[in-house]
């Protein structure tokens, strides 16, 4: 199965993570990084998860999953080790048109989470359509090592130029030339010589 790649705005969206172990913790962190309001539901939480509410928008509910717990959430991540519960949650989410990711079971999921490399506003996601998460992770690490830190400055400069060009009568070719001039003055790839 091929997945449709998409960048999803989850800023201030209510997201539910069902599970309280190490995998759940790893799934909570990127949701927080991208601005979600996270609720974690489990009868048990690791110490790392218990520390999260002190510094982040995380609500902890200490009990087992119950029917209708997914109501009013934008998306749900299921990270339990109970396959029967995972399937039950998946079915409920699908019936209610709630995005659901069941960790390590793409057949029960309506979306999968790619491996993500992020430097400022540069976000690159890598996926093998769930067939080899380790390979996706290794490629993400290679990409992360390729880009210099000044890629953030490049993006800011290009964004400013883009805003200015919206009010001009420059042709598409002229715009591309201006963008290329800025891109070429930065050394965004490690090992490249500045032009």
Q: Express each pLDDT in 78-136 by its tens digit.
A: 999 999 999 999 999 999 999 999 998 999 999 999 888 888 888 889 999 888 989 99
Residue 195: per-residue pLDDT: 45
CB-based burial, 132-152: b 16+ in 10 Å, e otherwise: ebeebbebbeebeeebbeebe
Query: Comparing C-alpha atoms, which of 182, 178, 190 is closest to residue 157?
Result: 182
Residue 2: per-residue pLDDT: 77
Residue partners of 53: CB distance under 8 A and separation at least 6? 59, 60
- Mapping DSSP to helix (H, G, I), strand (E, B) and coil, where does residue 2 land? coil
Largest CA distance in the chain: 61
User: Both tokens of residue 49?
Assistant: 């998860």
For the chain, give every domain's residue range.
Answer: 14-113, 151-185
Residue 149: pLDDT over 80: no
Alpha-carbon distance 49 to 26, whole Å?
10
For 79-171, where are the alpha helices, taking DSSP H only?
Answer: 83-95, 133-146, 151-165
CATH superfamily of the 14-113 domain: NAD(P)-binding Rossmann-like Domain (3.40.50.720)
Question: Of the given ranges (75-84, 148-157, 172-181), which has the lowest mean pLDDT?
Answer: 148-157
Answer with the residue of higher pLDDT: 157 or 193.
157
Count of CB atoms within 10 A of residue 17's CB? Answer: 28
> Per-residue pLDDT tens for 22-79?
999 999 999 999 999 999 999 999 999 999 988 877 999 999 999 999 999 999 999 9
- Mapping DSSP to helix (H, G, I), strand (E, B) and coil, where does residue 95 land? helix
């Amino acid at each position: 199965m091929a997945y449709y790649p998409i960048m999803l705005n989850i800023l201030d969206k209510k997201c539910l993570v069902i599970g309280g172990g190490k995998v759940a913790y790893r799934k909570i962190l990127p949701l927080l990084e991208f601005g979600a309001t996270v609720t974690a539901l489990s009868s048990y939480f690791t110490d790392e998860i218990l520390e999260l509410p002190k510094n982040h928008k995380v609500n902890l509910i200490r009990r087992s999953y119950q029917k209708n717990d997914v109501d009013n959430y934008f998306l749900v991540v299921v990270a339990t080790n109970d396959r029967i519960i995972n399937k039950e949650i998946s079915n409920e989410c699908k019936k209610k048109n709630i995005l659901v990711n069941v960790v390590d079971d793409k057949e029960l999921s309506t979306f999968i989470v790619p491996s993500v490399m992020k430097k400022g506003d540069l976000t690159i996601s890598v996926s093998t359509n769930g067939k080899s998460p380790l390979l996706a992770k290794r490629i993400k690490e290679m990409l992360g090592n390729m880009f210099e830190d000044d890629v953030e400055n490049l993006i800011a400069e290009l964004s400013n130029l883009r805003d200015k060009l919206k009010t001009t009568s420059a042709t598409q070719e002229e715009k591309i030339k201006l963008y290329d001039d800025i891109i070429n003055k930065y050394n965004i790839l490690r090992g490249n010589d500045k032009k």
